[in-house]
Structure 1
Amino acid sequence: MKKLFDPWQIKTVKIKNRICFPPVVCYAWGTEDGYVTQENVEHYRKVAKGQTGLIIQEATCVDRNGKLAANQLGIWEDGQIKGLSEIADAVHKEGCPIFIQIHHAGVSGLDGELACPSDYSFYKDGVKKAGKEMTIEEIHKVQQEFTDAAVRAWKAGYDGVELHGCHQYLMCEFFNRWVNRRQDAYGEHRERFAVEILRAIKEKVPEDFVVGIRLGGFEPRLEDGVRHARVLEKEGIDFIDVSYGFSGEDDPKAPADFPYEKCIYAAAQIKRAVSVPVFAVNGITDPEMAQDILERTDVDMIDIARGIIVNHNWARDAMEGRDTGKCLHCRRCLWCENPDTCTGRKILEKNLQRKKEFIDNL
């Protein structure tokens, strides 16, 4: 599994292997004011200590009115910088770089008048969400919030930011022509919302500060995802982390003989179309699978979320040939609600204890 453990770098950021812990929100630790808690700091410290090559911190909101959950981490005011810097410092002390994902929920937000490029409604988790078409002034306000958030991330000591451009949230709503039905420039050129944010951030941060994006591979179809990736590459995006876009308003497809998730196929196709680093994610459960995807698709980085949730030492154990543990794919991720209830983690801990007792009794 040589490629999985090959070092590489994005700009000046050195990464020890091809294993990335992608953004996963833990709802048990947050506060309504969006400030970092000690549980957040220790969580990312443990992930870094487990020899993960790169961490991308969970979706961190640029606007208190754009949250996906009441207790989501925030980066909308300067007072939040201190707590965020504690996360960055803890991770760096373990020899791991960290980016932070900056986010606005858009029509997938909590309640009230939700932001959306066009008038739009849908059901999310059984709840009707209704968005009102944003004015040009509202668009520019949110773009400025993304830019200010990136500057705060730089001040807090992060190595870069990842724009959240998928998963039914605001930026992906602009990308998707089945959601974004505007009749102005932001509808004619659906990448414009993200491109203008990217340009503004690049003007405000040092040249070596990384700016990437989590992008829907099917937005709504693969050819759209590829086109978005090419436009962003021309505008100077530093990496593209490919996932699903606006689920329910997309058309994900892959060849019948492709053995992995459709969005991994999308990542492979986007990698063929651009020269910037591309990440693949979804359903990657073990080191052998990760290695095969790297070889089969030629992507640069593998996102391991569930595996590292179960086992902070996933990367170290994979490198040293030990059992990395197993996510049980519970219907609702128990870790996200309360990490102490994660069944996969409990089983791994029990197995490790049994092994220790066996060795002690030899």
Structure 2
Amino acid sequence: MSLLFEPLKINQTTINNRICLPSMVIGGYSDETGMVSEKNIEHYQSFAKGGTGLIIQEATCPSTYGKVAEDQLGVWSDDHIPGLKKIADAVHAEGATILVQLCHAGVTAIEEETFCPSEYSCTKNDRFRKGTALTLEHIKKIQDDFVNAAVRIWKAGYDGIELHGAHRYLICQFLNPRVNKRTDEYGKQPTLFVIEIINRIREIVPDTFIIGIRLGAFEPTLADGIANAKALEKNGIDFLNISYGCTGEFDSYVPEDYPFKDVIYAAAEIKKNVSVPVFAVNGIKTPEMAEDILQITGVDMVNIGRSMLVNPNWANDAKASQDTGKCLVCRQCMWHKTPPKCPGRKILNRKLVRANKTPILN
């Protein structure tokens, strides 16, 4: 594991290794107020204890609307700062770096009235959504919400933020011309909406504050994704966490003989065009696969998602050449219903018991 456990510098922060816990929304820990609970604190502290270098906290809403879930964590009020600080302090005490992912859902939000860069309809979670085109005044209001949220995150002691510009959420909707049909400056320059947010945040927070983005690789094509990545690097982005873009509105591509998924291929291609750190994600389960991706693709960091839910100690176990366990990709995720009943975790716990080691309890 010659690369997986090498440090990585992002902006002026040195990450202990190349292992990232990506943002994964965990339902039931908060409520409609968006306040942090003890479960949230324990959840993120467990990954820090487990040796994860970089933790990206689940999608957190900067506005009172635009939520992805009713019980989504929030940062639309100063009242959220004390609870968020408890997460940041708990993670830092274990030596890990932590960011908050800021996410406004746009047309895919749970509210009855939703918004999009231009009029657009889609279906999400079996519900039809019709988004109203944003006015210039509304665009500025949402940008204000992002900027104010980032300042609160800085005040709470986090190392930075990740803007959610993928998975058919609002920033992603601006970046994809199949969704963004505006004829003004925000349509002619799809990255302008997020670039203005980045520039305004930079004017307030210290230079050391990390600003990265979860970016759609195919928006709608890989050439568009590369162009977006280059524009964002030019305007001060600190890292690019490459994922899928607007669901149903992109054309993916991967060579037939490529050993990894299309989105990992895209991350490798984007890395060839930028100098900032690039992350790869999707189906990375084992330390061996993670190391191979770093070695073959040239990307800088790997996201270990569901397998980290199975085993929060994944990074430490990988470093010690122990069995890390892995997600079994169940049709319906048992971890989100009852973590101890997760099949991947049950298998790993049986192995731990046989080896006279402490099983994972929650």
TM-score normalized by structure 2?
Answer: 0.97
What residue number does 1:57 align with?
A: 57
SS across alignment from 2:20: strand
What residue number does 1:183 align with?
A: 183
Q: Distance in 2 between matches of 1:338 and 1:32?
A: 21
Equivalences for residues 136-151 of structure 1 within 5 A: 136-151=136-151
Runs (4+) of structure 1 moved beyond 2 Å? 332-343
Q: Distance in 1 between matches of 2:140 and 2:254?
A: 36
Equivalences for residues 198-213 of structure 1 within 5 A: 198-213=198-213
What residue number does 1:92 align with?
A: 92
Q: Does the CA-based 8 Å contact 1:163-1:214 persist in structure 2? A: yes
What residue number does 1:119 align with?
A: 119
Q: Does the CA-based 8 Å contact 1:111-1:129 persist in structure 2? A: no
The amino acid across from 1:16 in the alignment is: N
Instruction: Calculate the aligned-residue CA RMSD, in Å.
Output: 1.0
Q: Report how far residue 259 of structure 1 moved.
A: 1.4
Equivalences for residues 121-136 of structure 1 within 5 A: 121-136=121-136
Q: Does the CA-based 8 Å contact 2:161-2:212 persist in structure 1? A: yes
Q: 1:286 to 1:216 in 2, by over 3 A?
A: same
Q: Distance in 2 between matches of 1:112 and 1:133?
A: 15
Q: Does the CA-based 8 Å contact 2:21-2:56 persist in structure 1? A: yes
Q: Distance in 2 between matches of 1:275 and 1:328?
A: 35
Q: Report how far residue 104 of structure 1 moved.
A: 0.2
Q: 1:75 to 1:109 in 2, by over 3 A?
A: same
What residue number does 1:45 align with?
A: 45
Q: Distance in 2 between matches of 1:8 and 1:169?
A: 28
Q: Which sections of structure 2, spanning at least 5 residues, go unmatched? A: 358-362
Q: Distance in 2 between matches of 1:334 and 1:28?
A: 14
Identity, % of aligned positions = 54
Q: Report how far residue 328 of structure 1 moved.
A: 1.1
Equivalences for residues 255-294 of structure 1 within 5 A: 255-294=255-294
Q: Report how far residue 350 of structure 1 moved.
A: 2.1
The amino acid across from 1:63 in the alignment is: S
Equivalences for residues 1-362 of structure 1 within 5 A: 1-356=1-356
The amino acid across from 1:336 in the alignment is: H
Q: Which sections of structure 1, spanning at least 5 residues, go unmatched? A: 358-362
- The answer to which structure has the higher helix fraction is 1
Q: Report how far residue 332 of structure 1 moved.
A: 2.8
When the two structures are aligned, how many residues end up with a matched partner? 357
Deviations 1:269-300 (CA, angstroms, capped at 9, x unpaired):
11000000000000101011101100111101
Q: Does the CA-based 8 Å contact 2:65-2:111 persist in structure 1? A: no
Q: Distance in 2 between matches of 1:123 and 1:171?
A: 18
TM-score normalized by structure 1?
Answer: 0.97
The amino acid across from 1:326 in the alignment is: K
